[in-house]
Structure 1
């Protein structure tokens, strides 16, 4: 006799979505994961990178798999908001800007080739038009713009997770606010051991533990995935600056190589009551191998050199930010060998894995979670659900 049919381990963006979709289809679902720590600097357990107020969402993408994952997820935002009563999506639009060369140029070419198939509305701006349309930016003269005005902008990841969990609980899922330390196949099912020593059993378990998935005894063997630290800078905006940037879209400034790409979120009010404009990049590649290393990183404010780079880049692109108070923070990106999420079974036919956001998955988390639910309910994914692309790789 088991406690549950299905246990989802990890109550972040993917896990919460999986619990919602599973509980819509069956009873006997549990979601196990800790709540956000009240005191980040003194918390010594696991973290989640969804502890934030804004993540870019858009359908425009140079990769067809990620584009479709985003499209499916975005199409359900309104339903999730209506069923939960929690707003998390803000349609600010999303702007891509670049000179059309190198890596960034290839990305835009692929994305533009797919826009009609995906049904995306795109506005294209030359350099002169770009400055007129988005006066808060001072982009280089050789930069063009590709703007997605509808079904794009940003999501509040905290609120999205809250909405997913609220619906899942309404549908009968049980939320268990504990941290999983060990998972093992008993032969007749799966046992999950939590940090307080409590044990929970299920027919099947799917593990959505993000960057921490390899840092405890959760899987029969580790997934081939790097947990890498990323730094974010925040510009605090007073009322005057808020007006300057009020009409700003979510923005990705492309470059000829990955290290120079930056993403920028428009002004967002944070829990401390202040309004911040956030900028981040893709240049850090340091791996976090252990729980201790990950905790130390989350306790930090990021890397000083990366903060300096982001601040310099932000003021170059948006001179109106000069003089703003700057703070910084840290998060973790989970980068898989394939560049796609891992959604599949481990060496155990009772333990599946759902991880690998690759720094672009917040917008697509509902569909990724749905695929995790389909995997448990049907036993496999089909090609229309990217079975050939999302298979996990183990080490």
Structure 2
């Protein structure tokens, strides 16, 4: 059985893993990135599933905490060079419009949809955003019908990011600089004689001086850590509404918090239509059952993926679209399973597990900030932390003490 040695092996070939491999390869490091291909379909699925199996994510700075937006801005500055180098397009311009009640009371929604905080974060990063009152919102987007008393923040230079295409571009650039891309799934690691020995599901083995674990929401399920991270994973649902004539639908991409008579009716993304691999165009909404399916094991995750998502989210999504876009009729809806995760501080983990292992995990908004997270993980795998952001910001928290 052949054993291959590399200076660094990156476990996980999603947005963060592929970015880490690219940054290492650019520095002349002998790096391999190991991860499976996307499964053909959710039905009958039994292995790893990734949250980036999608055609559209909002890439903007109207986020909390500020660190998320800062990492995104750093990533964005390198997108043009990555597109030019690989010839792979992975962004589409859009307006990012955050719609919310003008007077939002206390509660969890106030943390994520505090327009004063969101606007202040954008100013700190030098990004222009416009604040629209109710009348201004109607005038700027006449096709939209929002609830009375709702206002908006607009970032006009935002993007829809295609995470699948981003990964293709990162891996293409990494290959150009000599990185090895291996389509397998690492099942075990063991440290021997100052090296880490990794074994894949196929039986192949590799050794490395350093390992970077970029395994996203599935990190605690891989069995590659001696103790679990403080990381909660959930089975999320994406609702896709088919759009027969996308040219007739001129709309921004929205983060929408919808209230009526003091009751919350919806909170999530409504994305402008995008083409999908089946040749159809879909408008994407986040399902409202986001936190209803906690996942702790690989078996639970596989069962969730096979379910195809929560079809009970479709009527709520349809109601949102009827109110929001009353001049358009949507008759065909589909669901897709997705994985999301969260950390206690809502920040990524970029930290050392031990002298041979680095962790790089951001499992909910990782696509838009992945390039910078990968750069920081590559830095840590090669030597000391030298970034202007203190490393303490990204230190891992553990569910169990040492």
TM-score interval for Structure 1 and Structure 2 normalised by the shorter chain: over 0.9
Determine the structure 2 residue equivalent to 1:362: 367
Do residues 159 (structure 1) and 161 (structure 2) align? no
Distance 1:381 1:2 in 2: 30
Per-residue displacement from partner, 1:44-67 (whole Å, max 9, x unpaired)? 110111111100010222321111
Decide whether the 8 Å contact of 2:314 with 2:333 is kept in 1: no
Determine the structure 1 residue equivalent to 2:359: 353
Label 1:323 to 1:282 Cα distance change in 2 as closer, same or farther (>3 A).
closer
Label 1:61 to 1:386 Cα distance change in 2 as closer, same or farther (>3 A).
farther
- Counting only pairs closer than 5 Å after superposition, residues 12-23 of structure 1 correspond to structure 2 as 12-23=14-25
Out of 342, 349, 353, the position equivalent to 1:342 is 349
Do residues 248 (structure 1) and 244 (structure 2) align? no
**TM-superposed deviation, 1:198:** 1.3
SS across alignment from 1:304: coil
Decide whether the 8 Å contact of 1:233 with 1:280 is kept in 2: yes
Do residues 83 (structure 1) and 85 (structure 2) align? yes
Decide whether the 8 Å contact of 2:318 with 2:330 is kept in 1: no
Label 1:386 to 1:154 Cα distance change in 2 as closer, same or farther (>3 A).
farther
**TM-superposed deviation, 1:226:** 1.2
Label 1:318 to 1:222 Cα distance change in 2 as closer, same or farther (>3 A).
same
Structure 1 moving runs of 4+ over 6 Å: 256-259
Out of 197, 206, 217, the position equivalent to 1:200 is 206
**TM-superposed deviation, 1:259:** 8.4
Looking at secondary structure, tell me which structure has more strand per residue.
2
Determine the structure 2 residue equivalent to 1:295: 302
- Counting only pairs closer than 5 Å after superposition, residues 175-194 of structure 1 correspond to structure 2 as 175-194=181-200
Do residues 137 (structure 1) and 141 (structure 2) align? no
Determine the structure 1 residue equivalent to 2:333: 326
Do residues 271 (structure 1) and 277 (structure 2) align? yes
Label 1:360 to 1:277 Cα distance change in 2 as closer, same or farther (>3 A).
same
Distance 1:394 1:259 in 2: 35
Out of 377, 394, 400, the position equivalent to 1:390 is 394
Distance 2:140 2:99 in 1: 12
Gaps of 5+ in 2: none
SS across alignment from 2:394: coil
**TM-superposed deviation, 1:329:** 1.1
Decide whether the 8 Å contact of 1:65 with 1:386 is kept in 2: no
Scaled by the length of structure 2, the TM-score of the pair is 0.91
SS across alignment from 2:143: coil
